[in-house]
Chain A
Amino acid sequence: MKIADRISSILLIVLSGLWIYWARQLPYPKFAQVSNMGPGDFPTIIAVMLAIFAVWQFVDTFRPPVAKTAADSGKEAERLENPKAGRDIITGFGLFTIMLAIMPFAGFSLAASIFVCLFLLLIGRYQFYWAGLIAVAIPSLLWFIFAYLLTVPLPKGPWGF
């Protein structure tokens, strides 16, 4: 956790630096001088604050960890860890990304059906017929609610749905 905290602190400091740089590039119209505040000033103040807090977190990682309290134990649910968690999360996120990438071309229904089907096959380890059935059911239900009842124009593929 300490190394992760250090890396995140450094990334936040870099982000703050970039934000300050971009903020300083913004124009400063004459009428903004009345308040002494241009469009880049507030973002600069916030970015400086973020950098300070990130440095603080970085320094904190060199301090000894605080012992867990009794209350903390109550927050932790009694659930078993999934032994394939890392693989499942990466697969799940990858499939989610692919669904978003193909949705503008393939349309909502097809992209979502492919996503649900692969998600259940690869992560849920479902039988193909169950995965296929649920993959049709979920997008159809959402299509009915949003596109039909609420008239939200969901992305359509070349086949019109």
Chain B
Amino acid sequence: MDIFNNLMMGFGVALEPINLIFIGLGQLIGVSIGVLPGINASMAVAVLLPLTFGLSPEASLLFLSGIYMGAMFGGSITSILLRVPGTSTAAVVALDGYEMTRQGRAGLALGITAIGSWVAGTFSVIVLMSLGPWLSTVALAFGPPEYFALIFLGLSMITSLGSDSLAKGLIAGAFGLLLGTIGMDTGVGVSRFTFGILELDNGVNFIAVLIGMFAVSQSLLNLKKSLSHAFYKGKMTGLLPSLADLKESAGSIFRGTVLGTFIGMLPGAGATAAAFMSYSIEARISKHPERVGKGEIKCVAGPGSADNSAAGGALVPLLSLGIPGSETTAVLLGALMIHGIRPGPMLFSQHSTLVWATIASLYIANTLGLILATAGIRPLTQILKLPTPVMSAFILVMSVVGSYALANSMVDVWIVWIFGVVGYLMKTLRIPVAPVILALVLGPMAEKSFRQSLYMSDGSLAVFATRPITVVMLILGLISLFLPFIISAIKGGKK
């Protein structure tokens, strides 16, 4: 009953005209940005974050959440029509989605993805509102050792799951942690690694790092690609799937939805992994394996749903524990912090209006997304006609303005420049950039909890071995860290 009352309160706030406008605007921007290849949700949310400085915390979060959810569906549109994935999460949808387009079934592919996304988004929000308050209540009993173990678990999953090479994932994570040590040491009040730059006393602004690593480096990388796209010129009919199509896809949507939600909750795994896993499951259990890769509707419906539900699932650890599981939720964390709100277990009780308004807005955003996706596909694909150089120039200038607006300082702008170079090099070397951002956010929290734990135990590390929850989470963290080795050892043993 509490959940229902809270949800109604949330709807009360989200349906206020001004908030509704921001949700709709966020969805429209999100879907439009999702359509554009090379611009992902985290980049869009980071670059547009400064636009929310003058807004209320509610309007700000509703706007950014709208962009986040909208970008997830937008990516599928160009994947299906042009085989140009707007986002990495939608890459796998291109495999069968584009084949459906070639067979003249583009409308059906888009329609089933829109419906699947709506179902998945709604389900993940239901999980969020059911699990979130419970998790935050559990987390209230956590002391510094448990918090350290939880962050360790999150970081180990981020670094081990987010990359093709474990060494590179770990390097990215450690590099992010290293950056997190820059700034005033809160324990003893000593400036560390600031080299006399006063602006660095508060640490490296992770939004500036994120803008540099995602927006600047990606804008430059986009110049590597061809400057024009082949546009889909066929007829777009049958956006609403028939009953038979829905019946055929229902199982895939359900599997993708459940899988995506729970993978989304795991730090680091993210929507891309969920979509690829869903595709792999659908391909494996298909009764018509000859159709896989040649326009199998189930292989579009499953992954198309999984990526959307993963986006909702990723909000569970953010809102209940204050731990972002993906780079986009890290930016949302930054948005909350800019408005003086500290995400964590207390968020549900101290800022219940904000949390429940966000949850309610996700329902609204999902439904708006469905309408936008079915009614506005034709005009949305026209966005692709925007020339890459103009988009790149716009994003680069916007990155400068956005980072300057963080603290009205050129230091943040130069941080963007530095991390633009670092991000470009990392992407060229295939070192994942997401763990850097997440480790930069989680690093100071980890250090604080670690040192508080040692204060509690007079400097003894035994504090981490005597508390059951801490021990379980540390063991899980170690397992996830060494999972790739364990799997390869098992595979080697079988051979």
Instruction: Name A residues whose Cβ lies closer than 8 Å to a Cβ of B.
Output: 1, 4-5, 8, 12, 15, 19, 22-23, 26-27, 29, 31-40, 42-43, 46-47, 49-50, 53-54, 56-57, 60, 71, 74-75, 77-82, 85, 88-89, 92-93, 96-97, 99-100, 103-104, 108, 112, 115-116, 119-120, 123-124, 126, 134, 138-139, 142, 145-146, 149-155
Contact = CB atoms under 8 A, between A and B. Distances in A.
A81 B451 contact: no
Mostly, the A contact residues are helix
Contacts of B88: 75
A96 B171 contact: no
A62 B284 CA distance: 35
A100 B459 contact: no
Given A29-B190, A56-B170, A124-B390, 11 more contacts: A27-B188, A39-B187, A57-B171, A77-B225, A78-B83, A100-B414, A119-B393, A138-B397, A142-B401, A150-B50, A152-B408
A108 B279 CA distance: 47
A92 B396 CA distance: 10
B346 interface: no
Given A4-B429, A42-B181, A89 B220 contact: yes
A40 B193 CA distance: 10
B428 A4 contact: yes
Label chain B's interface by main secondary structure. helix
Given A40-B192, A139-B397, A96 B417 contact: yes
A60 to B, nearest CB: 5
Contacts of A103: 400, 410, 413
A8 B413 CA distance: 25
A25 B187 CA distance: 17
B455 A38 contact: no
A152 B220 contact: no
Contact of A92 (B220, B279, B280, B394): B220
Given A29-B188, A32-B187, A75-B91, A82 B171 contact: no
Contacts of B83: 77-78
Given A79-B37, A150-B405, A43 B181 contact: yes
A143 to B, nearest CB: 9
Interface of B: 37, 50-51, 53-54, 83-85, 88, 91-92, 94-95, 165, 167-168, 170-171, 174-175, 177-178, 181, 185, 187-188, 190, 192-193, 216, 219-221, 223-227, 229, 276, 279-280, 387-390, 392-394, 396-398, 400-401, 404-405, 408, 410, 413-414, 417, 420-421, 424-425, 428-431, 443, 447, 450-451, 454-455, 458-459
A43 B389 contact: no
Contact of A85 (B53, B224, B397): B224
Nearest to A147: B401
A60 B430 CA distance: 14
Nearest to B406: A152
Q: Name the 10 nearest CB pairs between A and B, nearest first.
A: A124-B389, A36-B459, A80-B226, A35-B454, A39-B185, A50-B174, A43-B181, A85-B224, A57-B167, A53-B170
B187 A100 contact: no
Contacts of B431: 8
Contacts of A85: 223-224
